[in-house]
Copies of this chain bind each other. A is one copy, B any other.
Amino acid sequence: MNDVKGAAALRATVVFNLGTLGAVASERFAARVEALGLKPKHAGLLAALDAGAAASQLELASRLGVAPSLIVALADQLQELGAVERVRDPEDRRRQALSLTAEGRRLLARCVRAAEDVDAELTAGLSEAQRTSLTRGLRLLGEQQLPG
């Protein structure tokens, strides 16, 4: 009790649990979307496009907090899967507008189902009230700390 703060105090923090659980969660989600030819970042890009960020690739990069070159790679792969289209802006031919295809929306829906499956798995040991309260807390934090 006269201890300085140790392991128990670290485990009590939000940041420690977010970090460790985030890694576990991402790993499980990745395992489920792998069969679709996707990584979690692909799902993130699909979601950003679906949310209406039909913007230029540079804008997407800053919204997702990744390097522009990564958007190129992700978009290349999604394009090969027929999930997105690139259309040159006729008013500024440097710009490429990314947009979801029907197949892209279908893939996104499959990602959502994968995420919901992982959710069920992760929160299986929680009561309904606990699940609700956790979900709300995370959404609130997400709205405050994440762009868009």
Contact = CB atoms under 8 A, between A and B. Distances in A.
Given A47-B7, A141-B123, A112 B18 contact: no
**Dominant SS at the A interface?**
helix
Contacts of A73: none
A112 B50 contact: no
B11 A47 contact: yes
A15 B122 contact: yes
A113 interface: yes
Interface in A100-119: 105-106, 108-109, 111-113, 115-116, 118-119
* Residues of A in contact with B, size category: 35 or more
Give the most central of A51, A111, A141, A146: most B CB within 10 Å: A141
Interface in A11-51: 11-26, 28-29, 40, 43-44, 46-48, 50-51
A81 interface: no
Nearest to A64: B20
A17 B142 contact: yes
Contact of A115 (B13, B29, B43, B106): B13
12 contacts: A4-B106, A5-B113, A6-B105, A6-B112, A10-B43, A17-B141, A19-B26, A19-B29, A20-B22, A22-B23, A122-B141, A126-B144
